[in-house]
Amino acid sequence: MSTRTWEGLTVPAAGTYTIDVAHSRIGFVVKHMMVSKVRGHFSDYSGTITIAENPLDSAAQLTIKTASIDTGVADRDGHLRGDDFLAVDKFPEITFRSRRVTRQSDEEFTVVGDLTIRDVTKEVELTVEYGGAGTNPWGQAVWGFSIHTELDREEFGLTWNQALETGGVLVGKKVKIEIEGEANPAA
């Protein structure tokens, strides 16, 4: 893989890279009944990252197919796909487009961009940990990253909830996003 040194960090060569869905995961965590957490992920997505000569000028875009949500429970997934939540028939995609990148530490960056869910676009801030770059055993270039953030789902029109007799609500407002990824040079 073609790498270079930028401000003491080994980074991929400038160019466009595609997210490798076979080695990536877009997951989320939300509180359930105020006492536990439910985890899920999206299985159908695509994205590219364009690494600029100056990595702080880089850009990323991601498109997630909302119908691919999976929490491991068919009834819950059906509810999440319905009008109370993602309304996948009306809003088949969640999109993200980066706007700016800043470096926080040696391998940690902040990426700010526009996230659109249910046709509501909000600026979000992602914490991105650069995982390094290399070549896999088949000679293919690869570099990795971890991303996390927390969103208020109600800001995106995901307002359905149910009050509990014991106080509180069935579904938490805050959703933690956890992405583990690898990227390869675009074909």
Interval 65-124: pLDDT, tens:
999 999 998 998 998 899 988 999 999 999 999 999 999 998 999 999 999 999 999 999
Instruction: Report the range of poorest mean pLDDT among 2-11, 27-36, 90-99, 144-153.
Output: 27-36
- Residue 169: pLDDT above 80? no
Decide: 147 and 127 in contact? Cβ < 8 Å: yes
Predicted pLDDT of residue 64: 98
Predicted pLDDT of residue 166: 64
* CA–CA separation, 117 and 155 (whole Å): 9
